[in-house]
Amino acid sequence: MIEFNYETAFKLKDEEKIKNWISSCILHYGFTEGELNYIFCDDAYLLKLNVEFLEHDTFTDIISFDYTLGKLISGDIFISIERVKENAKIFSQTLDNELNRVIIHGVLHYIGYKDKTEGEKLLMRAEEDACLKLLES
């Protein structure tokens, strides 16, 4: 089950379409959908989590807490809408495209993709692009 929660003045345009897309991406990789909670928030909210749980005093666009068991994908994904908007400008993307990339980024971490090294980042970006194509089709 996928749930969207809002801790800031923001609302997804088509929650059902996004839920179906996330579910199809999970199935595409051979995993099963468990409980996924997306929490859309602002920079201050996410910074507090970053400091408290990760000991990083920096802004970020996403923090995910992975509760996946085997092939059952579950977790809490916190997304800063402020950071996503800023990154969309920096990367010359639409807000929707950048937001969808971040939404699926958390799930890809749960599936096992990493992004610490340059090689891992390239692979993560390729998988994000593959998932974004599923949304377009």
pLDDT at residue 57 is higher than 90? no
Q: Tens digit of pLDDT for each residue in 8-55? A: 999 998 999 999 999 999 999 999 999 999 999 999 999 888 787 767
SS3 of residue 43 by DSSP: helix
What per-residue confidence (pLDDT) applies to 50?
79
Would you say 109 is a known binding-site residue?
A: yes
Q: Hey, where are the domains in the chain?
A: 2-136
Residues in the chain: 137
Would you say 61 is a known binding-site residue?
A: no
Distance in angstroms (rounded) separating the CA atoms of residues 133 and 136:
5
pTM of the shown model: 0.92
Would you say 105 is a known binding-site residue?
A: yes
Distance in angstroms (rounded) separating the CA atoms of residues 90 and 108:
23
**2-136: which CATH number, 3.30.450.20, 3.40.228.10, 3.40.390.30, 3.90.79.10?**
3.40.390.30
Q: Tens digit of pLDDT for each residue in 116-134? A: 899 999 999 999 999 999 9
Strand partners, 64: 77
Average pLDDT across the chain, whole number: 93
DSSP codes joined into one string, 5-24: EESSS---S-HHHHHHHHHH
